[in-house]
Each structure stands twice: as C-alpha cells, then as structure tokens.
Amino acid sequence: MDRFPLTRAAALERLERFVPKAAGAYAARRNLVDPQGDHRNVSRLSATLRRRLIGEDEVVRTVLAAHRFDKCEKFVAEVFWRTYWKGWLEQRPQLWTSYLAECESLPVTPQVHAAMDGRTGIDAFDHWARELTETGYLHNWARMQVASIWIFTLGLPWQLGAQWFLDRLIDADPASNTLSWRWVAGLHTAGKTYLADADRIAAMTGGRFRPAGLAESAAVPEASPMPGRTPLPATQEIDPSQPTMVLITPEDCSLETVLPQLDVRAVAVADGMARNGWDRTALGDAAARASGHWQCPAAAGDIVALALRHDCKQIVTGLAPAGPVASELAALRKRLGERGVRLVEHQRDWDRQCWPHCGKGFFNLKSQIPGLLRSLDLLVKTAPNRTGESLGKDCYTM
C-alpha cells in the first residue's frame, strides 16, 4: 500500500510527498531504474490514476501550485501521455477488439512461458520479468526494454507480451498498455520502432545490467491496416430529478468529487468488474467514501436487482474508455434498459477537453497543453518560488 497507494487518502499523501520532486529532480532522474526496485525517482501514482482514486486534474493542479509550468513541464507531459493513449484508442476502439481476438488465436509456446518466468538468459529481461511477477510493477523505462527484447530479440508476438503485462501490472490500463506495446513494435507511428540497447540499459541501471545478444535491427511485425478514426462518444446528460444509484467501477473510484448534486438512493460496487485484488481494494475504499458522502447504503451484487430494490430509475457511473469495463457496461445497459432503468456514463471535463486532441500523434496534444491548463482552470495565479516571493503572472509562463 505504501509503495503503490490504492486508497484516496494514501494517494493524496503520496502526491503531497512527491510534489517537491516534480520539477528538476523528476526531469533529471525519471529514467533511472533502480535494480532493487526502489522507484523513488517517479511518483508511483500510476495505480492511483489508473483507477481515478484521484484525478489527473488534481495531480496537475497540486504540482502547478508548487512549481512554474516551465519547471515541471516534463512531469505534466507524462500525465498527459496517459490521457493521450486513452483518447487515441477511444477513436479507434476496433484496435482493442482485434487485439483481444489476436491474443485468443496465438499459441502460448514454451518460449513464451520461459520469457514470462524470467528464464531467457538475458540478465536485465529476466530480472524485470521476476520483478513484475513478485511486485506487480515495473518502472516505465524498464517496460520499454522488456517489450523491445520480447518482440525483436526473442521474436515473440507483441500481443502476448501486452496480455502478460495487462494481467500482472498493478496499474494495467488497456489503452496505455496495448498502444505502448504497439509503439515499441513500430505499429503506432509508421516506421518508428524502439530497439533496446545494452549500453543504454547499463547507463540507466548504474551498470547493474549489460545484456548480451540483443537484436541489432527491428523488423516491424505484420499487422492489419490502421483503422480510421471514429467519432468520440457523445456526452450523456444526467437527469438530476431522477432517483439515482451511483455505480462504482475500477475506471472511476472518486465519483463523489465530480458528480453534480443528485438524488442518490444507493451506491453499487461493480465487484464483478474487478480484475484482481488491487481493484477490489480500491473499490472498497471508494464505496466507503461514496456511502458516507451521499449518506446511503453501499452494496455489491446484481446491479439490476440493486437498482430495482432502491426504486432507482437512473444509474450514474464514470465513463469507461475502451476496455473490459466498457464491454461489461454495454451489456449491463441492455439489461437495465429492459427493466426501464437508464445507465448514464459521466465524462470528466479532463477527458472531454483533452480527447479531441488525441487522434493523431502525441505532439498534437502536447501543443495544446498550455491552453488546456487554462481552460481546465489548473494554473495557479500565484505560487511561491524558492525565495518565498510571489511569482504572479510569471506562473503562466509556458
């Protein structure tokens, strides 16, 4: 829990402790990978943000309250990278369904098992494979090396590697995970692959690893043509006059911080949508907070039965981007509709404003960050600098 917070209180505490490092220290040291698993050079908030125990806007606002944007730009950009992957996949959801179908059709060979078990003989890869199994976490830079070695040195299907990560990572996110593996393989940006380098690995691990025999060239795997973009989902309107049940899924575990005033009669916990114990911990924390906030009971079980028991005509939940939860909500919406109950997915302002800029490359979104910070009201008008003086308008420097 201390290493990777899974409650809102622990996440806010972690954020507070990280803020002093969010500027120069983060920019200088974020890619250094400690072989002993001491990942203090990064925020370790990814599992929290994955489940939205705290929102991206909360993280960015807190950091910008302490640092000028030009000093903490690297960290802020990393937060937007997570948003980019979600917004990009949301405009090409068929990539998610095709990835699942490909995983089902590919054989899990002894070579795949050996790689997942850390029995390849490649020192860095085997170390990180075991760390993933033991802790559920890998430093992001290490993930890139593992994916590259898996695809180009071991010659294994990227889809099975992505599935391995999705099953094991504490912060596993369908969009970030799937598209990051595609990016390494050269399938996201045409002609651009990521090739792991022994000298670079040695430099980033303090000389602990210098793997031999890594691939010296990267052949892009065969793939279906890139699908065209589809429109983003339309905003769904919540009816504040309807008796409502709030549904908490692993996609949004702090709905009480963003929903408008509603006639909430009950809180339902989508425990059947939890993929692991980490999800269940976050859901339990979210349920307790939501029940206290709306002063109503919280329960798990059949969602339709719970709605009918509390005479709720509307269920409100957080919008679920492409992934397992979105698929389950689609099936649930049909069941609820047959009983006259409406399911509404609330879209946070962060997603609503950012996703339209995510359909191309990341730098299209990056160029919009200054304007998005203003429109989302995340820039603090005054913030102390190191001497305690007010920065005033200079805080807006981009």
Could you read off the pLDDT of 232-278 as tens digits, one per residue? 989 899 999 999 999 999 999 999 999 999 999 999 999 999 999 99
78, 100, 123: which is closest to 174 by C-alpha?
100
Residue position matching structure tokens 């908030």: 45
What tokens does 385 get?
């600098």
Nearest alpha-carbon partner for 178 in 116, 99, 94? 99
Which pLDDT score, from 0 to 100, does residue 397 have? 27
Q: What is the pTM of this model?
A: 0.93
Using CA atoms, how far apart are residues 117 and 126, in angstroms rounded to an integer? 8
Instruction: Tell me the pLDDT tens digit for each residue of 274-315.
Output: 999 999 999 999 999 999 999 999 999 999 999 999 999 999
pLDDT of residue 140: 97
What is the DSSP-derived secondary structure letter of residue 231? P
> Distances in Å between the alpha carbon of 378 and those of 75, 184, 257, 395?
15, 32, 16, 11
Residue 20 pLDDT exceeds 80: yes
pLDDT digits (tens, 9 = 90+) for 170-179: 999 999 999 9
How far apart are the C-alpha atoms of 55 and 60, rounded to whole Å?
9
Total number of residues shown for the chain = 398
Q: What's the confidence (pLDDT) of residue 224?
A: 86
Q: Which two tokens stand for residue 329?
A: 């909500």
Compute the half-sphere exposure of residue 256: CA atoms within 13 Å on the CB side of its CA. 17
Q: What is the CB neighbour count within 10 angstroms for residue 272?
A: 12
User: What whole-number distance in Å separates Cα of residue 312 and Cα of residue 238?
Assistant: 13
What is the number of alpha carbons within 13 Å of residue 220 lying toward its C-beta?
13
- Closest Cα to residue 46, out of 14, 92, 19, 24? 14
Q: What is the mean pLDDT of residues 122-135?
A: 97
Cα separation, 391 vs 163, in Å, equals 47
Backbone angles phi and psi of 133, in degrees to 5: -65, -40
Look at residue 191 in the predicted model and tell me its pLDDT. Answer: 81
Minimal CA–CA distance to 236: which of 97, 333, 357?
333
What are the Cα distances from residue 128, in Å, to 75, 119, 150, 208? 24, 11, 12, 12
